Amino acid sequence: MDNQYPMPESIGRFQLVEEVGEGAMSIVYKAFDPEINRPLAIKLLRGECAVDPEYRYRFLQEAKAAGKLTHPNIVTIFDVGEVEQGPYIAMEFLEGQTLEEIMDSEQEITTRDVVIYGIQLAEALDYSHARGIVHRDVKPGNIISPGYGHSLRITDFGIARIDAPNKEHKTRIGSVLGTPQYMSPEQVEGQQVDGRSDLFSLGVILYQLLTGVKPFVSETLTSLLMKIVQEEPAPIDIKKTDIPQSLKAIVEKLLNKNPANRFQTGKELADVLRRVIHEIDEKQQHINESKILPLRIKWTAVMAMVVSLAMILGSYLVYQKQVDTMTELTLDSGGSLADFIAIESAEAVLIQDWVAIETFVQEINDRQQISYLKIFDHRRVLRGSTSLDEVGETLEQSLSGEVLREEGGIVITEAEWQGEEVFDFQAPLIFQNKTIGGVQLGLSQTPLIAAADLTFYTMLGLLLAVVLTVVVVAYLLATGITLPMKLLRKAMRQISQGNYAYRIRQERNDELGLMFKDYNRMAEELQNKQQAEAVTEDETQSDLDTQTPTQTQPQIEPEPEHDDETRIAPAKQPLDAVIGVDDSQELDDDMDDATRIIKRN
């Protein structure tokens, strides 16, 4: 802290804690109010300025200007008074960063955040302008982010102008007030300014937030001011290509040299910025929706998967059971046939009537679908066979394969014969409990396999038909739910956009219909509340108009001198440093000279 102005222990009832900032006109202290037990900031007019009528007037002007403003995006003034050290202002203490510090720290600020900042600042300025107050020094250093959420606060109304009923303004015609790089052309030229000048400054801030550079930069003050008055800034596309076209058009309109071609009120600007927010959100929503699996697809896929698994498992069990059943029937019928042949041919083998045996074999072959039939005697000599060239030969070892059943002397084997899968049945020829030969019967598995395949393809067709039916029904049911949800989402977006008059006209006699009715009731209550607030605001504005006549765009003569940048920040820093000029009076003189040069040109 400067030893020339030691920090007093207290100012009025406020206990001073530390010095946190200083400017050309004032010093800012962190203080504590013991009566309400909260910290606050005290802005005290400097000693040499406190006795100067002009500085004293401007300091009290800030208190009058900011003291009558109550807005969530404007720093709140709690108290104004005078003590031995001079006049002071007590205001809320904010421990965040200035917007300038945030930009200098290169923190990531998304395009959406920039638009949100713009809406907050536009609404705050509109509130101020509607009450006859023009800030005239809107810049990142005079905007504080308290450190929670995305909220911003405008502060430092040190060179603001308030319309008084008697219109007695202490001013010096043609003087230039403000921070050069954020001044409007009419402010640079020392002309009368209104709220549109603040909106130009806001346009400079938005340009800087979007591109990372200021729109007007020069090495000298004179050339800087001439650029502001005469030159257009570089297109935003050159600096950054992913900015929405609508937002670029808004910034270009804000930076128009002619105030009549800019937005005329902060409300008008806030409204179009809200549409940009909706545009950004819609684009992001489409991106997000493209990344997610729609509910109707998800439900349909889940239902199809569940039904498919159930059908596959059921079909497998049915198929397997049917194949097993057909196999058992084939084995039973084959065993019965082999036993019948053994009984019928036993007597002929006993009396060695080989002609009868051969005739019997041919009859069986003609009447039954068999692969082979062989009848042999006790010496395993073939006496009858479906292959006539084998008759008289000795039967070699039986076909090798898996034994499926052995019952009643009949052995059933699954084997391969001449490249064909067969069931091989071997039954003994018994006469008076003596084995006199045997029968070997082969039945092809081809009919059984064909029947099994038919069953398989039938079950597969049934599976596909059921799954397809389930998919169609599930999709239609899911669509029947998602479409009303989409309608409800659209209605909720209307609410988020402030359109409380939007209603859902669709009527449903189900839970979704109850949700629609709940939404309509909510929208109606919000609309009624909005209308009530509008009536209250109109009444308040009417009272203010009765006390202090104001205009939508008050024409305000410029105030003399350049004020300080009072920052409530953790570290002390010179608040009057502007583009390398350390002394406010020197800056004021330089700007007056630059203004005269511009006017001559």
- Give the list of residues 6+ apart from residue 406 with CB closer than 8 angstroms, or none: 412
Contact predicate 92/78, CB 8 Å: yes
CB atoms within 10 A of CB 95: 13
Q: How far apart are CA 481 and CA 335, in angstroms?
A: 61
Closest to 160 (Cα-Cα) out of 60, 309, 250: 60
Given CA atoms 567, 569, 573, 577 in this order, what sign does their dihedral have?
negative
Sheet hosting strand 372-377, strand order edge to edge: 382-385, 372-377, 434-444, 420-431, 410-417, 401-407
For residue 260, count CB atoms less than 10 angstroms from its CB and return exposed for 0-12, middle for 13-18, buried for 19 or more. Answer: exposed
Contact predicate 201/138, CB 8 Å: yes
For residue 223, count CB atoms less than 10 angstroms from its CB and return exposed for 0-12, middle for 13-18, buried for 19 or more. Answer: middle
**Selected catalytic residue, list 33, 79, 113, 137:** 137
In order of 491, 511, 517, 586, the CA distances from 506 in angstroms are 12, 13, 10, 69
Q: Would you list the DSSP string of 300-346?
A: HHHHHHHHHHHHHHHHHHHHHHHHHHHHHHHHHHHHHHHHHHHHHHH
Contact predicate 171/557, CB 8 Å: yes
CB atoms within 10 A of CB 577: 16
Q: How far apart are CA 559 and CA 136, in angstroms?
A: 9
DSSP classification of residue 291: H
**Three-state DSSP class for residue 385:** strand
Q: How far apart are CA 85 and CA 535, in angstroms?
A: 44
In order of 5, 223, 569, the CA distances from 574 in angstroms are 15, 25, 12
Q: Is 583 in the active site? A: no
Contact predicate 114/251, CB 8 Å: no
Contact predicate 441/386, CB 8 Å: no
In order of 65, 75, 445, 539, 568, the CA distances from 68 in angstroms are 6, 11, 102, 16, 20
Helix and strand element counts for the chain (H, E): 15, 17
Token pair belonging to 282: 């819609």
Q: How far apart are CA 248 and CA 254, in angstroms?
A: 10
For residue 555, count CB atoms less than 10 angstroms from its CB and return exposed for 0-12, middle for 13-18, buried for 19 or more. Answer: exposed
Return the residue matching tokens 């600020």. 109
**Three-state DSSP class for residue 586:** helix
The residues carrying an active-site annotation are 137
